[in-house]
Every structure is written in structure tokens, then in C-alpha cells.
Structure 1
Amino acid sequence: MWQIGCARTDITPPVGIWQAGFGARTSPSTGVHIPLHTTAFVIGDGTRTAVVCTNDLVGLSRPEIERIRALAAERCDGLDPGDILVCCTHTHSGPAVSTYLRGQPKDLGYIEWLCGAIAHTIVEAVGGMQPATLHRAEGRVEGFNHNRRDESGYCEKRLAWLEARDADGGVIGGIVNFTAHPTMLTGQNLLLSGDYAGVLTQELSRELDAPVGMLNGCHGNINAFPRAHTDLGIVEDHGRRLAAEVLRLRDGLVEVPDGDLDVRTRMVELTFGPPQPRALYEEIAADTEQPGYVNDWARDVLARYQGDPVDGSEQGEVMVIRIGDVAVIGIPGHAFAEVGRDIVAALPGLFVLNANHANDYLGYFGTREAHAEGGYEIEFAYRFNSSFRWAMDADTTERIQQACIDLARG
């Protein structure tokens, strides 16, 4: 049997904190729709322990990830910080917490508390580990999401579920894997919320009386549907209906055979296309017609990169946790749905759970076709949440995708 422990903690910040996700917001939060949570799912095979920790947040950058890993590992004997996967649902109604996110002020005191709270939840889950079996199920659902760039384009409809049970058959915890931006609530919403993803895990945690977290799949070009704007009822109905689909999946649960637990990582080169003249960034930094966060991005680029023209690559971590025939795949940004589809197709015989915004918050990994078309994700979004000199190119996406496949195959 596996050794599994799960824990879930409320991480809702104080009302008045600024929210992340929509640059058009001009006011801080005014209330709470539903509490935000961190959920830790810890599994061991007697020789190694791995952690999957999901959070109702837009994203966490590398400095926060490293802080969480260090805090948790120093309090858990035998837990390697490199065996901890920390990811976010990408709700656009949670607090501004990422180091590189621009546009809204950040509460540094809350961020410090948050890192400690997430680490404490991991420690709690480790402390609760017990003999357990693991079960999985998957299906397809319609009417919950759509391709936001092309209504006729590919949209990921897969819904997957992983459930841990104790020796008596009781539920210890679970992980749901679905693919869609949690942007049903738009920039007009000033209530802190996990959006549909928060409702989904809240409903499942209540129904199963056990901690449940969500891994958001490759949702770079996928939105939840329909948009609710500020209509909380639409969001709540969406999350409850999706939870009901998960509960139906449980009728077909299959036990995951005992096997090896392994954690594999690879640092992948991130490249950005042709170098740009330094004068271009100086011009953008001084352009008063640009939003302030674009000016800030250009200044950060000038500080980060030396030389003229501005050139250089970066690194991003891909992580795969193999649990027998289950592969939890951590991607450090939001990949397009076609990337997730192709990863699953390349891994027959494995039960794949793609987790975006895992161990970093790097931006969009678009397909080669998307780069040819352009659009928000390709041409502009990187200025909002990174200090990179330009958008990551299609070669980067293909390296990320191949790393996921290689690591999962072992």
C-alpha cells in the first residue's frame, strides 16, 4: 500500500488586499465570495515522499516556491524540497502575490504569511500519512469550457480524478484535474474568490468530508464558459455541476496498482526570438501613453539584461511525479490545450494529470500555429507578469512539451 496524507487550510487574505489577474481593476477587494484554500496531497512508498500542493491563487513565482519548499522540508525529516510540486488554479479573483506580477500593489506581509501557511499545510499532510490505496477515474464533460481564441478550435474536455482511501475504505483526499481559466468572474468583481475552481473543490471537500485540490490542465487558450462577470450564482452553479460530474466518475474508480514512486525534473531553456535594440526598451519605459505596468516591465528588462541588443535565455523547471502508472506533470506556466492533448497522446498506458502554473509562473506556452496568428497570449501578456525580454517562442513550447514526455516515460 501507499502512504498518503492530505490537509487543507484557509489562506484567504484580509479584505482590502488587491486582487490579481485583471489589469483593469482600479480598486482593492471589498469582500469574500468563498474562502481561498491550499490543499496538500502527500504520497510515499516507504523510501521516498512526494508532495502535490494546489492553491487558490493566480500564480506563485520561483522565489515564493523556493521559500515554501525550504520551510516545509526543514520541518519534515526525509522530505527533499525538490520533491515538492506547488501549483495554482490561476483564479483571477485571488490576491496579488507573484513576485513578477505587475499592475496591483502587493501585501508583502501577507505573502510571507502565505508561504508559511502553505508549508504548514504540507507538514500537516506529512504528519497524517497512513496506509492507503489510490484510485483513478476519467471522463469527458461538455458545456463547461471553450477555446477562447477560436470557438471551432481544440478544447480539452477531459475530467480526471485521483482519490486516496484508508485501510477501511474511507476517503483521505482527492485531486481533480480539469482545464479552464478561472475567469468566470471578471475585473469588475471585487470579492475574493477561487472562481469556479474554488466552488468545485469546496463542494467536493464537503461531499467527501476530505481535502480536495484542483490541478488546472493546459488552459492557456481555454476559458470556463460562460462568463459570469459579477454574477456569483452562475459561478456557483458551474462549480457544483462540475463537482457532480466528478462524483459520477467515482462510480467507475479503478485502483492504481502498487508501484514505484519517482520524482523527475528538468531545467528547460526558455528562448524569446530575435534580440531587440536597447533603445526600444528605453522608449517603452519612457512612454507615458503606455500603462504603468508596461513601463515597469521595460525598466525591469533593462535592469535584468545587459548589452545592446538585449539578448539572453532563461530557465524553467518541468517536474513529473510518477506514482505507479499515474504521472502528475508540472508545467511552469499556462500551456495551450494542444500541448496537454499531445502530452497525453504520447503517454499511452499512463494516467496523466497535467498541472499548469507549477513551481513557477512564467506565462504562456503557445503552439507554433498560435505564434503565427499572434494575439494577447503571444504578443502582450508577458509584459504583465514577467521580467523576460520578450514573449517565449514556439521552440520553448516544444522543449517544454518534450521534457514532460521524456520525464514521464523515465
Structure 2
Amino acid sequence: MRYLTMRFLPVCIILAHIVFTNAAFAQNFRASVVKVDITPDNSQQLLGYQARKSTGVHDKIYHRIAAMDDGKTQFYIISTDICLISPSQYDKLTARLQKQLGITPMQVWWAATHTHSAPEVGPAGLPSVFLGDRYKHEFDAQYTDLVEQKIVDGMVEAKKNLAPAKLGTGWGSSNANINRRARSIEGKTSLGMNPDGPVDRRIGLLRLEKADGSLLALIANYAMHGTVMSGENLLISGDGPGIVSEYVEQKTGAPLLYINGAAGNIAPIYSVYPSPAAGRLNQFKAMLGEKIIDASKTITATSNQVTLKAAGTIVEIPRKEGLGWPDDLKNYTRTTKAGVNMIRLPVRFLKVNDDVAIWSAPLELFCEISNEVRDRSPFPYTFYFGYTNGWLGYLLAEEELQYGGYEPTVSPYAPGAAKSLTEAVVNYLQGDMRSGH
């Protein structure tokens, strides 16, 4: 018996070491969050609506950066209180991050909250093709450089501050939005309100906690245009998304990264008013901010056993015939041997453990598309992050093309785009992402 005990003791020690090592690796999840003020101290061209310059500041605007590390993969999400950026600006930033910090583009998502009351950042990109009258001026290179530098500085700080953490996921709901494709009796469509139109009122939520269980940060995914205020407003503001983020932070003591969803056809319930007061901007604290806080309280099953997997694919979609293309986006188009001009649409994916799938695209997507992807996804938590890593236009639900209106006019995609994107994303979720390849 003593011989057998001595013989099997080393085996037991080895097995115990393997179990302990695997447990230690699984519990090696770390996270951090950084908030950086990017409010300009001078007048700026505002992006959204007609060309116009700011006359002051209503509320400050920020970068909010969340960093996550599972011991093997580092991943960064940046939420910025701006309207949108060209994909070329994202490429410029990520090339710098890779050179200076060794962080690859696949590890970084840069999402714009889509407020229409914040300064331009970088070149106009695709909007200049449809709305050239808005971009007869040069963009402010000095402010753009400041915005970029503050991301780099924030990423350095976020990487340095990584600490043991836990993560949880949940759903919430808010009635703060409404379909904006108003339909006349003749079937014509204009920007307005359509209470009977498709909408997505779910709040997708990631809760990051410190090792002791206290709140580190919230990442809230909700579809809503940043258009509480109209083009008459000349004050810099985060609009609805910014006001909600600041309110949640004041109430919880932790930053909120607001990540817009498929808001291409979704407006705030109070929309395009001349001023914050007229637009009831503060009411969004209750309509959406409180709903985010309530939803975060229901996430009780947080864990330090987290694995992250980042991936991406290119979906090619024919663009409209005769449509021009900006010089800074040459990497996002190609011409087939048959002479068809294709848009090369980058779609990114993030898998968190086996139950969370997040996909993103540089699109102003109609909610019907992301709703269908979510319904067909094998993952119980499937979120769409819109306005991410640039902007390549509106991509509409196919049935909406017949009604015309603003969005079909400024969409660069030929008919059939919705089906092409939907099938590509669903196939990836059901195939490579589910299998873990």
C-alpha cells in the first residue's frame, strides 16, 4: 500500500498542478476604464445637419475607453461623443496604435455615439459624395490631432491600469426611441415619427466590476439617433447619448460607454428641437438613463472566468451605379472583372465566453436587419455596435427602398444589400464564431 501511495503521489501532484494552472488562467480576466475630455476650447464646425459653427458648449464631450484582457487577448472599446468618422481616420489611428503600442486593429473598436452637436473629426469621407455642400471647408487638422492623441494617451493609461475584474451581461428596455420614417397617406416617406414602424427598444448591457464586486464601468448598447437637438442648435453637446452617459456616471460613480445600435431609422422620442430645453434633453435621464441603471442591477452573475475572441470578415456589396467615391476610401472598394464597383464592408466580431456575440460595422443600419440577426443568432446575447470604425453610409431594409425618403437617397448600396449583409453575419455567427475557429 505504501508503494502504491508513493507511486501515485507524483501523478496526483501533476494533476493538481494542471487543475490549478487552468483555474488561474480562467480567472486571469482584467479590465480598466478611462475617460478623457475632448471638449474644444474654440469654435468648431459641427457635424450633422447643415454646415455650421459652434458658438459655445452646453455639455462636455469625451472619449470613454474600456480595456479587457483575458490573459491571452486584449481588447479595447472606445466610445466617443462625435457624429461619425471616415474609415480612413480609424485606419490612421490604428496604424499608429500598432506602431507605438503593439495593439493591432483587430483589438480596437472605435464607436461614435452619433451626436449631431459635436465637432467634425478628420476628413469627410463618404458624406462628401452625397452632401458636398456641407464640406466646402477644410477640416480642423489641429483638433483632429488632439482627438487622436487623447485616444493614444487614454489607451496607454487603460493598458497600464488593467486590474483583476469580473464581467456580466444582461438586457434592459427603454421607450426613449421611435421609428423616424414618417409615412404619408400616399405612401411617401419623410423624416419624422412613425409609431407603427419597426423599432428596437432593447438595451444590451455589459457590466464590468472590480475584483471586490464594485462597479467599474457599464457598456450600454441602444439604438437612437443623437438628434434631440436640430441644426438650429449651435452649442457643442453629446446630445441624448452624452446626457445619458453623464447621468448614469453621476448616479453610479462609474463611466458608461454609450454604444449606438442600428439607429439608421430610429430617432429619439423628442427629436430635432432648437435647444436642449425645447427638446426635453434632461428627460432622457429618466427615459433611458434610469432604465440602464435598473438593468445593470439585475446582472448578478458576474464572473472572472472570461475568454475573448476577436475576428473579422469583409462583406462585398455592389454600390449604386454612377456613384463617386472619395480618395481616402480606396481600400474600401474594388471593381470586378465584369466592371461592377463593389463596396468592401468590414464587419468585426467579438465573442465573450460562449453566450455573448457582438458584431460591429461602419454603418447607419436599419433596425430590421440587426433584429433579424439577433433572432437567428445561436448566442443568447447578441449585440450590434453601429457607427463603429468609420461610416460607410446607410444600409436599408429592402422593403423600405420603395418608399423613398432621405435614407435611400444617401445610401451607397445597390438593392440586395440587406440580404447580403444579413446572411454573411448570420452564417459567421452560426459557423466560425459558434465553433470557436
Name 1:174's counterpart in structure 2: 218
2:352 pairs, out of 305, 323, 333, with 323
- Contact 1:365-1:396 at 8 Å conserved across structures: yes
Q: Does 1:119 align with 2:164?
A: no
1:130 pairs, out of 163, 173, 183, with 163
CA drift of 1:305 comes to 9.6
Q: Does 1:200 align with 2:224?
A: no
- Contact 1:134-1:256 at 8 Å conserved across structures: yes
CA drift of 1:253 comes to 0.7
CA drift of 1:241 comes to 3.3
**C-alpha distance in 2, partners of 1:392/1:54?**
26
Name 2:420's counterpart in structure 1: 399
The two structures, once aligned, show a CA RMSD in angstroms of 2.5
Which secondary structure state, in structure 2, belongs to the residue aligned with residue 12 of structure 1? coil
Residue pairs, 1:11-410, within 5 angstroms: 11-23=38-50, 25=51, 27-77=52-102, 79-99=103-123, 100=125, 101-102=127-128, 103-104=134-135, 105=137, 106-142=139-175, 144-150=176-182, 151=194, 152-227=196-271, 229-233=273-277, 234-255=280-301, 258-273=305-320, 275-276=321-322, 312-324=341-353, 325-379=355-409, 381-382=410-411, 391-409=412-430, 410=433
- Paired residue type of 1:321: L
Name 1:387's counterpart in structure 2: none
- Return closer, same or farther for 1:256/1:200 CA change in 2, 3 Å cut-off: same
CA drift of 1:125 comes to 1.4
User: What percent of counterpart residues are identical?
Assistant: 23
CA drift of 1:84 comes to 0.7
Name 1:386's counterpart in structure 2: none
CA drift of 1:11 comes to 1.1
Residues 354-397 of structure 1 deviation map (CA, whole Å, 9 limit, x = unaligned): 11111121110101101222221011x25xxxxxxxx2124233
CA drift of 1:319 comes to 0.4
CA drift of 1:68 comes to 1.9
Name 1:287's counterpart in structure 2: none
- Return closer, same or farther for 1:57/1:407 CA change in 2, 3 Å cut-off: farther
Name 2:190's counterpart in structure 1: none
Which secondary structure state, in structure 2, belongs to the residue aligned with residue 163 of structure 1? strand
- Paired residue type of 1:238: F
- Contact 2:230-2:275 at 8 Å conserved across structures: no
**C-alpha distance in 2, partners of 1:168/1:75?**
33
- Return closer, same or farther for 1:403/1:54 CA change in 2, 3 Å cut-off: farther
- Paired residue type of 1:403: A
- Return closer, same or farther for 1:33/1:127 CA change in 2, 3 Å cut-off: same
Where does structure 1 lack aligned partners over 5 or more consecutive residues? 282-296, 383-390
- Paired residue type of 1:166: K
Bigger Rg over Cα: 2
Where does structure 2 lack aligned partners over 5 or more consecutive residues? 1-26, 129-133, 183-193
- Paired residue type of 2:141: L
Query: Stretches of 4+ moved more than 6 A in 1?
Result: 297-301, 303-306
CA drift of 1:187 comes to 0.3
- Contact 2:310-2:350 at 8 Å conserved across structures: yes
- Return closer, same or farther for 1:299/1:97 CA change in 2, 3 Å cut-off: closer
- Contact 1:76-1:126 at 8 Å conserved across structures: no
**C-alpha distance in 2, partners of 1:228/1:149?**
14
Which secondary structure state, in structure 1, belongs to the residue aligned with residue 217 of structure 2? strand
CA drift of 1:228 comes to 5.2
- Count, aligned residues: 375
CA drift of 1:124 comes to 1.6
- Paired residue type of 2:233: N
- Return closer, same or farther for 1:403/1:113 CA change in 2, 3 Å cut-off: farther
